[in-house]
Amino acid sequence: MAEIRHNPNPSDLAFVPFVSVDHMMANVRAIGPETFMRGIADYIEQDFRRWESFDKKPRIPAHAPQGVIELMPASDDEYFGFKYVNGHPANTRTGMQTVTGFGVLSEMSTGYPVLFTEMTILTALRTAANSALAAKYLAPKGSKTMAIIGNGAQSDFQCLAFKDMLGITEIRAYDIEPAASLRLARNLANSGLNVTICKTPEDAIEGAEIITTVTADKRYATILTDNMVGAGVHINAIGGDCPGKTELHKDILLRSDIFVELTEQTREEGELQQLDPDHPVTELWQVYAGKAEGRTSDNQITLFDSVGFAIEDFAALRYVHDLLPSMGHYEKLDLLADPDDPRDLFGMVLRSGATNGDQAAAG
């Protein structure tokens, strides 16, 4: 009787490139965070310009009083990508991250994953890249000063992306916890940015052409009131990203031209929750593709009602996947079953711990 062989060393089909947190940090350090975010922004812009080629849907959330867990899928003819991400604002009280994530990119032709990666750091990079990309089309030309209200984990990335992609030189920072602003200033000490720590939100937005709000509390809040916002500014509203969570007074929205990612998702999760369901908005893909205008006048208030959308994560996954051959910071993870006979998965399990003699007897 022929000997049944089990190869203890799977073929390349079993292995998926895996980017751990350490690998991601090494990749970012290798080219610098600004270059990394600029690369992600380029991929986002490419993918938004071919918006109509994607299978798109709002993210799939599971809400709890403490926060939310979400799956964010997107696909085109070549790839399927998804991100698992959570948002739990109270986590920082026990030394945990507010946002964590991981993601997968797979080939549509075979269903096999071609990338498995951490997405806690990558989401922070993607979010900032996406903000700065939108501001290229929406912020006043020649902007030099940005107010950033909310100085948590995302704030550093936002400041660096706006410096690199828009030429921002001055940061006016405010947080209800002064230690957060001090941390931000310390991290940006050698970045070329001049950081001024402000005592009030009103102080922070004085002289700022761009206002970024990035607070974390999972509630309806009024970080900016109508009288605080003058004509001609661009508002980058990041914090409102789930039902019941906003940052801006409704009257600011009524004075602004509002730009969104996917309208139906933003109406449920963004600042748009406060407005009528038919309030006019412009989707950013139309601006990037030249089908709609962004900023049109010096006095216009533009508002990016950012909630995060799956195509942005899809673009970030593509960017990392394309970067790996030159960066090399990843490992091969034995993730996929690879039996000698693809129809005999159970036989592979039976033989997995057997010696050659046991295998022959099993035959």
CA angle centred on 262, ends 119 and 267, rounded to 5° = 110
B/e letters for 58-97, b = 16+ CB within 10 Å, e = fewer, are: bbebeeeeebbebebbbbbeebbbbbebbbbbebeeeeee
Task: State the number of CA atoms in the 13 A half-sphere of 38 facing the CB.
Answer: 12
Tell me 70's DSSP state. Answer: E
Q: Which of 247, 153, 158 is CA-nearest to residue 195?
A: 158
- What DSSP string describes 288-325? HTTSS-S---TTPPEEEE----HHHHHHHHHHHHHHHH
Contact 122, 316 (CB under 8 A): yes
Structure tokens belonging to residue 245? 């969570």
Rounded to whole angstroms, the Cα distance separating 80 from 104 reads: 8
Structure tokens belonging to residue 15? 């292995």
358 catalytic, yes or no?
A: no
Count of helix runs (H) and strand runs (E) in the chain: 12, 17
Work out whether strand 79-87 and strand 101-107 pair parallel, antiparallel, or are unpaired: antiparallel
Q: Select which of 47, 156, 164, 241 is catalytic.
A: 241
Contact 219, 155 (CB under 8 A): no
Q: Which of 196, 176, 201 is CA-nearest to residue 184?
A: 196
Catalytic residues: 241
